[in-house]
Structure 1
Amino acid sequence: MKIRFLRKQEVLSESGSRYGEYLQPVYKKWIRTSQYLTVRDGTKLAVDIFRPVKDGKPVIDPLPVIWNHHRYHRASIYRLPKHTNIFKLLIASAKLLIKNNTNRTQLDNTPWLKTLIKHGYVIAVVDVRGGGASYGTRTGPFSQEEANDAYDITEWFAAQSWCNQNVGMFGDSYMGITQYMAASTAPPHLKAIFPEMAMFDFYEFTYPGGVFRHDFVAQWSCKVKELDSGISAAPVEQDQNATMLVAAIQQHQANRDVFEMFKSLPYRNSRDKETKSMPHIARSPSSYLKQVKKSGVAIYHLAGWYDMWPRDALLWFKNLDNPQKIVIGPWSHGQRLDFDLATEHLRWYDYWLKDIDNGIMESAPIHYYTMKAPKGKEWSSAWQWPLPNQELIKYYFHDGTSGSVNSVNDGLLIAQPPQNINGHDNYTVNYTTTSGKATRWVNGYGGEFNYADMTSNDEKGLTYTTTPLMEDIQVTGHPIIHLWVTSTIKDGDFFAYLEEVDQKGVSRYITEGTLRAAHRSISTTPYDYIGLPYHRSFAEDIVELPNEPVELIFDLHPTSNIFNAGHRLRVTITCVDKDNALTLEFFPSPTISIYRNTNYASYVALPIIPNCSEL
């Protein structure tokens, strides 16, 4: 039975429904303890526990526990003494930490968690096996052992006298994905999760359309290798001399190198020589979709249009019938601008872990932001996805010139099919083309997010641009590109960018998609793929390019953007994104042809929302 509160000042704002003033903090302080807990196979995992304090003592009344399965250290030492010997350094660091409390916890990194503690929640953070101060070795990301750990950890919390047997989880990125993996094991006391910026399909991320996302995998692999083997993890309290931390880090030395593991797995069904498994399937969160669904765990998905995984979040939402909500904002992986994370988490957990009927499940489950919408109308709600009123409008590639860019062809983009019978554009592959070094992908491993004017890249590719728009056009959903191509070689990578060009000629990145031509076969999906083209990319699906034109069909990442009157829509086609993906180089450079005629009409289908001007 849920307790119903009157909502005195609940309003719908830029960051969603906010709590009113009726619910005030109960506690002002908290205490941190740390220890090891042991999971089913005997591995000891390090955990930080933050409990509210009353009258100088930890609150003994049972409270809900919200925890995070952390990949990048639950706590870190940030004042390291100088020693050349790593083990002496570890021991000295631990002693200094214990004496001076010179560590940084997740409450320092995630300040909004303090609000939850003040409102009567226990917060916990656990180092994953093989990471931080936890023992064990890692066989790669998202292992079954790691998921089983999540089950054991959840039930350990539920068994503590200070837990009311209602457990939730929080976290973003890797720590968002671990929440879905935890739900797949169906711990009896896991009631609600709040995954932010989390993956659905492992292969589609590491090899989108068959193209290896080399930079991300290499950079992320290097980062976690340094964390796992380094000396910055904080020991637990019982480890006074850091001997346990040293032993744990020694075990980490055998962790699997992620880059080495995945660089040799080009197909979805590629087998790993070491484990004899198919990691893209066995470790993909999407492979556990049925189990997550069966768990019944309530899920609040949070995503960003410029994150790495907006499609993924929508696939989670589309394929689950768990109690759920989804919010998609104008964010990249590391951004949550103008969004009240404390309030939204509090409302979610209050409802599911404290039986407070605060109305969070009464509104439409989809809440999304439209970029460049009129002030005060940026946020919209919906009951289904794709939006039922979308109209898929085909914008076809035509002969130029648009006069808007000095590209290889400067073609036109028109909402009418071509009338000629021989039209095509030839393009010699330029291996210097790039979407930049501050992309959604770079931001995913902690780099900058700042797409510059795309014109310099456009000039090296094939472009198709509309005339200036007569009125605003809203695109909300999943653009899909259809390219008819030939090439002087048997394969090739194709990158498509959707951009908005202003009156000064500045071209702003909106979204993108990619496909390796040999991966073009479209298969039946194992789940609801929102009507998008699904490339299974098994080894047996690979087909070389023939001598005659073939059609490549692939989706661009979803977006919600208003293209303003006076601006132009542009689609740019290149064959390389050198800073973000790995494309093999050939000499001399191959020539590809994009066809735009009555027999082979290339186009982009845009999900346009009518009556945009009435917003």
Structure 2
Amino acid sequence: MSIEVIENTWITLSDGTRLAARIWLPSGARSHPVPAVLEYIPYRKRDGTRGRDEPMHGYFAQHGYASIRVDMRGSGDSDGHLADEYLAQEQDDALEIIDWITAQEWCSGNVGMMGKSWSGFNCLQVAMRRPPALKAVLSCYSTDDRFRDDIHFMGGCLLNDNLWWGSIMLAYQARPLDPEIAGAGWRDRWLERIRNLPFFPALWAAHQSYDDYWKHGSVQEDWSAIQCPVLVVGGWVDSYTNSVPRLLEKLPVPSRGIIGPWGHVYPHDGVPGPAIGFLQEAVRWWDHWLRGIDTGVMDEPQLRAFINDPTPPTGTRKEQPGRWVGEMRWPSPTILPHVLHLHANGTLAPMPRTDDAELSIRSPQDHGRAGGEWMGTGCEGEMPTDQRLDDGGALNFTSAALTDAVEILGAPELQLELGADVPVAQLGVRLCDVLPSGEVLRVSYQVLNLTHRDSHETPTPLEPGQRYRIKIMLSACGHRFLPGHRIRVSIGTAYWPMIWPAPQPATVTIRPGDCRLTLPMRDPSAPQAEVSFPPPSSGVLAVLTRTDPGLVLRASSFDHVTGVAHYITEGRGGLFGEGIVRIDETGTELAHNLRRELTIRPDDPLSARYVLTQSYEMGRKGWRTRIETVTEMSADAGRFFLKGRLIAYEGANEVARRDWDETIPRHLL
């Protein structure tokens, strides 16, 4: 089917704000209206996501849908100010956008909303507002809990990616409007946007428990508010997959889920592979709920998931061995608890052992260097490496070699009885597959600020000398432990550089006789649903030229002279080292360089320091701009210190500068 592409159109809201939209229409839609699909994000339709948007939205148009990609208020070429993530204003604007879409001559009145990450979040949030025209949602890599499972905090611990993402948002939101779209006033609007920039990382770091700030936009606050069908997608290398089983369990509407082996990329581009025909799946979903065609999507398993087979633990993985399985209902009655008990001799066994022995651990502050990235995106070196590097700083409990395969799907749970010698302490827990070669592959993990042991909303300090019974729910996973392999659970008291350290070194003491690991084991005798996907397909690709191949660097090291552990990553040309790209249709060239440097002394959590330098260059002949930022973070026992500087250039001339210097009290963190 031939399509019409509208490069830019304006959606004027009730307050006069104009939002910039790019639209793909199937041929004939103006005389024969069609359903519409909306994606609504702040990442710049004109250039930022053009390479991804073109083949996806074009594909939907080729299959009979009007596809609309809108820049949020204050982003891209849209008017206004973007003050934060997931504001009520963002949802209000979405409701008006949907009304605008349904009023167009080419729209039949039925709308689907979809997205990945930010737009995966907001399509669920907008569904809670129940616009009548919204008939279905497709949410990829999103969360129902903005505190527990987002890029700011994990297990009550501050993620170092909070500074990374906050710094990227500074550069993203400081990019100029495109003069070809915005017109003569582009420069004034650009400088006004920079003047109004919030210091994102400090804004988020100030909310250190599950308060009203995080409850806003967290779907779990009212599952019943969503009244339209939901297809939710996750990936084992991504960081937002825990929400998939929760959404399938809790939503009161027809729902389906897909979890593949991928990182934070749409599944038709999925890395690690195998990628799938995600766009075909999306069209089947839209056809069923927006056109009323029975495509069979509701006859398939409620959850289709990829079970990983073990593989050598290398930092780069382009393909993941394994297979697809289906669970007709979720929670699945065919997934049974497989309990293993921790023994004081370091073993993990099916039978408990009554033993009052205690084991203590105080991990070095750089424990966790083999952990890889919190959020995988398919780039080189990001995966967890051989866990033997971290096992030396942990308590390890290992099973005997397996005689039969153990296949798990879901969230493992570790129950511990423990005490600590300081009021604030952390745990980093890892579930691993010990290969016959001796290599150790991380299967799942979780971190926990022990002051959040009972509640993320009302944390309480530990009392030294007191014992506590706690449960740690590890991240959801799908994995097959093969015969001859061993299962290991490891417990440490730090997880650097993924999380910011607690203010004091902590010694945690556990009583293994009262501890157990519960694995969600698939019943091998249960009937198996067949699952398969077509190969990836797409619409016409955007015309891009890579003018520089880019480079990604990633290394951890220890300086034996200074006693400092270093962790450094760098992407040159693109955020993840993908290179400098020119969009041939517009002539716009994009280059993004980012370097992270995290340092810490193994004996001193207050020595932690994080420095992030970044530049974002964009332009074309006669128009070139550059954004440079430097952000850094450090802390003492009671405060976080966050600093930032942003400088904007037009050509060789500095046109704007912002400086931030924030001190934030630590609250049991």
After TM superposition, is the score higher than 0.5?
yes
1:609 aligns with: 522
Structure 2 contact 174–193 (Cα < 8 Å) conserved: no
Q: CA, structure 1 residues 547+592, in 2 after alignment: closer, same or farther (shift >3 Å)?
A: same
For residues 330-387 of structure 1, the C-alpha deviation after alignment (integer angstroms, 9 at most, x for no partner) is 22223623211110111111122222222222223221222229x9982222232222
Deviation at 1:168, TM superposition (A): 1.1
Q: CA, structure 1 residues 279+430, in 2 after alignment: closer, same or farther (shift >3 Å)?
A: same
1:387 partnered with 2:332: yes
Give the partner amino acid of 1:44: R
The structure 2 residue matched to 1:545, chosen from 463, 481, 484, is 463
For residues 140-194 of structure 1, the C-alpha deviation after alignment (integer angstroms, 9 at most, x for no partner) is 2111110111111011000001111111122101111110111122111111121
Q: Matched residues in 2 for 1:52 and 1:249: separation?
A: 38
1:257 aligns with: 199
1:491 aligns with: 424
Structure 2 contact 4–26 (Cα < 8 Å) conserved: yes
Structure 1 contact 229–253 (Cα < 8 Å) conserved: no
1:455 partnered with 2:388: yes
Q: CA, structure 1 residues 555+183, in 2 after alignment: closer, same or farther (shift >3 Å)?
A: same
SS of equivalent residue, structure 1 residue 545? coil
Structure 2 contact 342–516 (Cα < 8 Å) conserved: yes
The structure 2 residue matched to 1:305, chosen from 205, 223, 236, is 236
Q: Matched residues in 2 for 1:134 and 1:288: separation?
A: 31
Q: CA, structure 1 residues 613+450, in 2 after alignment: closer, same or farther (shift >3 Å)?
A: farther
Q: Matched residues in 1 for 2:240 and 2:258: separation?
A: 13
Give the partner amino acid of 2:16: G
TM-score, length-scaled by structure 1: 0.78
Where does 1:504-515 land on structure 2 (aligned, <5 Å)? 504-515=437-448
Q: Matched residues in 2 for 1:499 and 1:578: separation?
A: 18
The structure 1 residue matched to 2:256, chosen from 315, 325, 337, is 325
Deviation at 1:255, TM superposition (A): 3.4
Where does 1:366-377 land on structure 2 (aligned, <5 Å)? 366-372=303-309
For residues 187-220 of structure 1, the C-alpha deviation after alignment (integer angstroms, 9 at most, x for no partner) is 111111211011110111333221111x211111
Deviation at 1:613, TM superposition (A): 11
Give the partner amino acid of 2:295: N
Deviation at 1:107, TM superposition (A): 5.7
Q: Matched residues in 1 for 2:137 and 2:377: separation?
A: 21
Give the partner amino acid of 1:412: T
The structure 1 residue matched to 2:115, chosen from 171, 181, 189, is 171
SS of equivalent residue, structure 2 residue 393? coil
Give the partner amino acid of 1:143: L
The structure 2 residue matched to 1:208, chosen from 154, 158, 177, is 154
For residues 270-324 of structure 1, the C-alpha deviation after alignment (integer angstroms, 9 at most, x for no partner) is xxxxxxxx311124333353322xxx22211111223212221221221112222
Where does 1:93-492 land on structure 2 (aligned, <5 Å)? 106=50, 108-109=52-53, 111-205=55-149, 206-213=152-159, 215-231=160-176, 233-234=177-178, 237=181, 239-241=182-184, 243-244=185-186, 246-247=188-189, 250-251=192-193, 253-269=195-211, 278-292=212-226, 296-334=227-265, 336=270, 337=273, 338-372=275-309, 378-400=323-345, 411-421=346-356, 423-436=357-370, 438-439=372-373, 441-443=374-376, 449-492=382-425
Structure 1 contact 518–545 (Cα < 8 Å) conserved: no
1:524 aligns with: none
Deviation at 1:446, TM superposition (A): 7.9
Give the partner amino acid of 1:66: V
Give the partner amino acid of 2:362: T
For residues 425-481 of structure 1, the C-alpha deviation after alignment (integer angstroms, 9 at most, x for no partner) is 122231011154632x24369886322111101122111111111111111221111
1:46 aligns with: 20
Give the partner amino acid of 2:334: N
SS of equivalent residue, structure 2 residue 144? coil
Deviation at 1:496, TM superposition (A): 0.6
Structure 1 contact 481–554 (Cα < 8 Å) conserved: yes
Give the partner amino acid of 1:181: Q
1:30 partnered with 2:4: yes
Q: Matched residues in 1 for 2:98 and 2:80: separation?
A: 19
1:97 aligns with: none
**Higher strand fraction: Structure 1 or Structure 2?**
2
Give the partner amino acid of 2:19: L
Q: CA, structure 1 residues 347+370, in 2 after alignment: closer, same or farther (shift >3 Å)?
A: same
Q: CA, structure 1 residues 558+418, in 2 after alignment: closer, same or farther (shift >3 Å)?
A: same
For residues 369-410 of structure 1, the C-alpha deviation after alignment (integer angstroms, 9 at most, x for no partner) is 22229x99822222322221222122122133xxxxxxxxxx
The structure 1 residue matched to 2:509, chosen from 593, 601, 606, is 593
Q: CA, structure 1 residues 251+240, in 2 after alignment: closer, same or farther (shift >3 Å)?
A: closer
Structure 2 contact 447–495 (Cα < 8 Å) conserved: no
Deviation at 1:609, TM superposition (A): 2.1
Q: Matched residues in 2 for 1:319 and 1:37: separation?
A: 35
Give the partner amino acid of 1:368: A
Deviation at 1:244, TM superposition (A): 4.5
Structure 2 contact 73–90 (Cα < 8 Å) conserved: yes
Q: Matched residues in 1 for 2:380 and 2:119: separation?
A: 18
Q: Matched residues in 2 for 1:550 and 1:396: separation?
A: 18
2:648 aligns with: none
Q: CA, structure 1 residues 210+262, in 2 after alignment: closer, same or farther (shift >3 Å)?
A: same
Q: Matched residues in 2 for 1:159 and 1:446: separation?
A: 42
Structure 1 contact 66–168 (Cα < 8 Å) conserved: yes
1:565 aligns with: 483
Structure 1 contact 367–381 (Cα < 8 Å) conserved: yes
TM-score, length-scaled by structure 2: 0.72
Q: Matched residues in 1 for 2:202 and 2:103: separation?
A: 40
Structure 2 contact 157–448 (Cα < 8 Å) conserved: yes
Q: CA, structure 1 residues 446+472, in 2 after alignment: closer, same or farther (shift >3 Å)?
A: closer
Structure 1 contact 474–612 (Cα < 8 Å) conserved: no
Structure 1 contact 112–342 (Cα < 8 Å) conserved: yes
Structure 1 contact 511–556 (Cα < 8 Å) conserved: yes
Q: CA, structure 1 residues 107+390, in 2 after alignment: closer, same or farther (shift >3 Å)?
A: same
Structure 1 contact 43–136 (Cα < 8 Å) conserved: yes
Ranges in structure 1 where 5+ consecutive residues have no aligned partner: 1-26, 77-103, 270-277, 401-410, 522-535
1:62 partnered with 2:7: no
Q: CA, structure 1 residues 488+107, in 2 after alignment: closer, same or farther (shift >3 Å)?
A: closer
- Report which stretch shifted further, 462-471 or 199-208: 199-208
Ranges in structure 2 where 5+ consecutive residues have no aligned partner: 311-319, 529-669
Q: Matched residues in 1 for 2:65 and 2:179: separation?
A: 24
Q: Matched residues in 1 for 2:71 and 2:77: separation?
A: 7
CA RMSD in angstroms comes to: 2.6
SS of equivalent residue, structure 2 residue 155? helix
SS of equivalent residue, structure 1 residue 140? coil
Give the partner amino acid of 1:330: P
